[in-house]
Structure 1
């Protein structure tokens, strides 16, 4: 803590700022970035009918356009995790924001399938640093007992755009056409990139944080020092991480967590329209309800996890219980196969998505098990596992529906994957403790 002490000497000024909580301002900046991130990746789904009509794109080809984002997003996770460990959060996040907003803006001028695919591939690469960096930032800025709620706050921002801002996007689409969606969100993102580089600092760089707040974060296990970044990537590190059951269990679990989310992002509206025969106006209304439920689910999970820690419940139980509850709850999506009422189906789906959002709180575990200087790399692996499901799940569901003519098997698949994730969290991960590396990059 010597570098921190010199940067933030105790003083009457610092003492007077003890109640000014800089960490929450940094979290607010992250939340806005996540909201923009998810809007930029999701708006193609809203624009798709108009885009398909204008460029005469069939459903199969549109599926390729949709999948392009996940391919590069998945492939870039480990490299960007290594970049975060090497160069830190502020600069990498700024570049990510600027470039993903530029790729979003450029989609307004796309002239067909090839240009859309190329720009979606670029968007996937540019957005890849977001969640590994978010995990780093929370580990740096928040004591252990506040981390789950902090992660819950920025994860909830995903659902704000999807659940609450969808009507605004449909209004833009109706009045100004599909390019307006990409122009508005792209420009907003580019402007916010300037806000980010001006306002965000890691704890050891910040002039706003007081010595007392730094002491509070460090006493709670916050990783505030310069040693958190600056480490070079080594393939030996990557190989060794896969030797630990904690990593394997987390990756299986995160694939399962995101599988339910991918179903809702891709096939959910089609399920309501084709399997439940709802009118498209109903689909638009009902499709927003699970996202709103998810918004409250992730906030509840963060509150529950930190509350358990405050009650002196062991760390492993406090961090793992909300995720396990969420995965088991998400598996109830299978029950939709056995009810007739549309209202009951939407209620089941909303409950399943509430639980899926609870299970997203697994990010809080990374800072507990990551080797020193490798949090970005571990976060990259964790995010890669999630986004592997973004490649696999839509294809598997499409094959099941095509082969059977029904969503019964598809829902069973999604629920079954969630259950496997719960088993992994219960039996594979084991004790939450820092991994000791024999190789250091």
Structure 2
């Protein structure tokens, strides 16, 4: 049996990579933009957060549209608009136009995770969903790594505007491949019949019979759905702090050039991507040995990952640049693994595959309700204290909180009624 489905995992990974290259473009260019337009840390914090305002608002509609029209259409339109908005950012003439283009980018990028989650729910067998979800989400770490290296060089040589032009063009190139090659497994011609039968059989094991979709109301009444969404928020808060402020931290506190700060930002992100893939693969194997993922036992790995990420609490007590980067690398690895496997945990517990887009939208909305606060709160913390220490502490406390929520509140299935009462005790024992 072939593994051509991995081409789809790689494609969705690259989608999120280029999505995050667009996001990190402002982080790389921020020192130059702040100097050109005389922006305060608080104003820069609002610019960092602007794309999340519209992103959060549009996630639920994008989840609904994905379940109704499919991933190909929703993702295609989304990539076209957010790539174009990134290019427009390079044409901005001041604070207001920068804010507007970033808000447009955020609205369009809301399509990425609901559509990506639907692709994985269509293509990934349950036995490898942890790895597949991690490949999707780890694009959010490989993207900043690649983006800070590439755009750091582009900005230093050609100016900050060309950073945005470059980032936008990468998304448009990806879009061409998506429109030409993407199909659902039922109609894809690049997979063999044995692999197609395996995917269709395994992806729906334990799913609600009939394949009908649950509404938002049904999903939101699930304690586990709310718990994975809040846990997502506790982790995404710290992720967004790193994504938006890390290059500025290295430039302003550690006095690094744009190129050097790009290199030092890239290493923790690259390491987090690789380690997250390895840990996700091991989690799939461990769960398979224990009888499968549908019981929600994946929560244990999420808890350990969140607590590992909380090592960033030690940052205020460390002055050495190598040690700070070590802490950031460990924290990012925990974040990459925890967020990815939290997405997989939601899929493990979700009863209906037809609700995948909506469930992903709820989870990512929860994550980014916290995330949109992170850049602004960090800007105020820096302005008030002249230090990044409290920003790291806030992130660490939230990570510990998310670990407790996951451990205690993710024991029930998400969605409609169980077909057999015998499943419930197994879920409660996990």
TM-score, length basis structure 1: 0.86
Q: Give the number of equivalent residue pairs.
A: 412
Please tell me whether residue 413 in structure 1 is matched to residue 378 in structure 2.
no
- Report which of the two structures shows the higher radius of gyration computed on alpha carbons: 1
Find the counterpart in structure 1 of residue 406 from structure 2.
425
1:37 maps to 2:19: yes
- 2:232 pairs, out of 230, 250, 254, with 254
Paired residue secondary structure (1:267): helix
The structural deviation recorded for 1:421 is 0.3
Which of 332, 348, 356 aligns to 2:311? It is 332
Structure 1 unpaired stretches of 5+: 1-17
Change (3 A) 1:117 1:148: same
Segments of structure 2 that go 5 or more residues without pairing to the other structure are 419-430
Preserved contact between residue 306 and residue 400 of structure 2 (Cα < 8 Å) = yes
* Residue deviations 1:89-131 (CA, integer Å, cap 9, x gap): 1111111111111111222222222221111111001110111
Structure 2 CA distance for aligned equivalents of residues 239 and 150 of structure 1: 27
Cα RMSD (Å): 2.5
Structure 1: distance between partners of 2:116 and 2:387: 39
Could you tell me how far apart the structure 2 residues matched to 1:45 and 1:248 are? 31
Partner of 2:76: 94
1:167 aligns with: 149
In the TM superposition, what is the alpha-carbon distance from 1:195 to its structure 2 partner? 1.5
**2:159 pairs with one of 173, 177, 187:** 177
Query: Conserved in 2, the CA contact under 8 Å of 1:367 and 1:375?
Result: yes
The CA distance in 2 between the partners of 1:176 and 1:403, in whole Å, is 34
> Partners in 1 of 2:15 and 2:226 — Cα distance?
29
Matched, 1:389 2:370: yes
- Whether 2:99 is the aligned partner of 1:121: answer no
| Equivalent-residue separation in structure 2 for 1:308 and 1:113 (angstroms) | 50
SS at 1:179 equivalent? helix
Q: What is aligned with 1:15?
A: none
Q: Aligned match of 1:143 in 100, 110, 125?
A: 125
Say if 1:152 and 1:302, in contact at 8 Å, map to a contact too. yes
What is the Cα deviation at residue 340 of structure 1? 3.8
Q: CA deviation at 1:273?
A: 5.0
Task: Compare 180-189 and 373-382 and name the one that shifted more.
Answer: 180-189
Q: Contact 1:291/1:353 (CA < 8 Å) preserved in 2?
A: yes
Which of 252, 272, 275 is matched with 1:294 structurally?
A: 272
Question: Quick check: 1:108–1:180 contact (8 Å CA) kept in 2?
Answer: yes
Shift of 1:278: 4.3
CA distance in 2, matches of 1:317, 1:429: 8
Give yes or no for the alignment of 1:267 onto 2:245: yes
Question: Where does 1:2-401 land on structure 2 (aligned, <5 Å)?
Answer: 18-19=1-2, 21-222=3-204, 237-272=215-250, 277-280=254-257, 283-312=261-290, 315=293, 316=295, 318-361=297-340, 362-372=342-352, 373-401=354-382
Cα distance change of structure 1 residues 90 and 228 upon mapping to structure 2, 3 Å threshold: farther
